[in-house]
Amino acid sequence: MKVAADSAVAQYFNAIRSALGGLEIFLGDRNSPLYQHGVIGEAIVPYLSRLKASFACWENRIGFVDQFRISRAESGFPVYQNVLELENDRKGAEKRLSEIPSADALRGEMADFILRNKVFPTELQIRMAERMYLQQIGKGEIFSPFILPETIRVAVNPKTMRPYYVVSWGAFDGNSTLPMVYMATIEDSSEEIVNLLVTKDGKLNPDVEIDLPVGGLLNPELASRFDDFALKNSAYSLSPVTIATNLDQDFEMLHPKQLRRIVLGPFYSADITENNEKVRDILSKVRKVENAWLLTWTIQEVFSQAERPASKGFWSSTPAQEEFHIDTGNLEATRMGVSAFEKHALVPHDAYQALYAAGEAAAIFGDYKVHVISGNVISEV
């Protein structure tokens, strides 16, 4: 079931669909900095697909629920309760589908009802909407409150003779209502893993077949603990340096060399969101409502500038410890707890023209890297 095309709900879904589709185009653009830095784009794409699937589910769900709430004054994304309900419905989707007549049977009942009663079959329409929703959940993976880690790359650091993994996971933060993607580059000094994966000349052992991506941390002895760590350390309120430090302290044989957090949002849509009054007012003047949106995201990064070696004494020993760099010369980087960060904004050409014509583009975008989309073409400002 679809809502009225001119309704605020339909406008919101059209706008977010355009924004996420635009971000997908940006990630696939050969001139995009994220495309050129392949590992970031590679990490984001699966989570973007999950997010798009979630919105498709929510759009079907509004056909049989009383309300759909978004964080209008903050992130512009659905409130956390919607994420929890989607995850709960996903778990019981198969059973509930078995209790609802098939789509063809429902269509037949609806046609018969209309012929007999000369009115629209509201109850049957609701059941059809629920069936579409449950079928949509089953089509693909959704953006859950927490998405388990997976290893997406494996290599060897020839200086340390350790294998290292690039591990990604996702989380939808309940307080900020923001979807986030995490990426960590981690060296593993576990003796068995080093012997298995590293050759004598410091290269990845070609005799070990690794079919990437691998669910969880590649080290099976630590995978379950790492899943639990990621679950407990993915809140937006935790700074990247805090998460990296916790990881370094909790796992003696794991050495986090870099941690990135990609925070999607806030999202701005004309006449829908209220998170920036100036942006809202200008976007409301954009001629085509499907182009009256603005999507932002932030890439936060913390990296190790040195590793303090382990020390072993007669009475006590100290494991190796990373020294993470924080850019104290940048107040915002210090506040975020990062070595570096980038702010990005994706905006349709019509909306950017409206902001520019109003003389507000420079003030609104500030230190953002602005990417303007027109059709399938991305240009940098």
- Closest CA relative to residue 236, chosen from 184, 295, 300, 294: 300
Q: What is the pTM of this model?
A: 0.91
**What backbone phi and psi angles, to 5 degrees, belong to 29?**
-75, 125
* pLDDT of res. 379: 85
| Single-letter amino acid, residue 32 | S
Contacts (Cβ under 8 Å, ≥6 apart) of 149: 167, 168, 169, 216, 217, 226, 227, 230
* pLDDT of res. 37: 63
* pLDDT of res. 5: 46
∠ at Cα 376 (374, 381), nearest 5°?
50
The Cα-based distances of 160 to 157, 187, 198, 250, 302 in angstroms read 6, 9, 11, 21, 20
* pLDDT of res. 29: 76
* pLDDT of res. 1: 40
Q: Count Cα atoms within 13 angstroms, Cβ side, for 203.
A: 4
- Torsion angle of the four alpha carbons 345, 74, 260, 165, in this order, in degrees rounded to the nearest 10: -110
∠ at Cα 378 (374, 381), nearest 5°?
100
Locate the domains of the chain by residue range: 38-139, 146-380
* pLDDT of res. 186: 98
pLDDT digit string (tens) for 158-194? 999 999 999 999 999 999 999 999 999 999 999 999 9
> What secondary structure letter does DSSP report for 264?
E
* pLDDT of res. 2: 44
Helix, coil or strand: residue 77: coil
What the block records as the tokens of 116 is 């007999």
* pLDDT of res. 129: 82
Low-confidence ranges of the chain (pLDDT < 70): 1-6, 30-38, 140, 313-317
